[in-house]
């Protein structure tokens, strides 16, 4: 199996909800690591839970046909 980029990879990168949700998930993961170093205002696990939910949403978005990308 050979991996290769699709011809419209740049359009997908800019418009796909799965990409947006993956970026959000990564941001939430980073906040989960960094925020406790500065404050105890947010209970531990909140950002990890939100990150898990956005990862699941990204999977759903990945397998769903999105308008403008089909």
> What is the rounded distance in angstroms from the CA atom of residue 40 to the CA atom of residue 63?
38
Compute the mean pLDDT over every residue in the chain, rounded to the nearest whole number.
Answer: 86
**Domains of the chain: which residue ranges?**
16-62
| Chain CA centroid to CA 15, Å | 13
What are the structure tokens assigned to 29, written together?
């993961």
Q: What is the pLDDT of residue 41?
A: 80
Phi and psi for 31 in degrees, rounded to 5?
-65, -40
What percent of the chain has pLDDT above 70? Answer: 96
Write the DSSP symbol of residue 40. Answer: S
pLDDT of 39 above 70: yes
């Amino acid at each position: 199996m050979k991996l290769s980029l699709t011809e419209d990879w740049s359009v997908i990168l800019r418009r796909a909800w799965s990409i947006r949700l993956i970026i959000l998930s990564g941001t939430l993961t980073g906040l989960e690591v960094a925020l406790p170093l500065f404050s105890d205002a947010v209970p531990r696990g909140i950002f990890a839970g939100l990150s898990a939910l956005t990862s699941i949403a990204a999977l759903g978005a990945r397998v769903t046909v999105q308008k403008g990308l089909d």
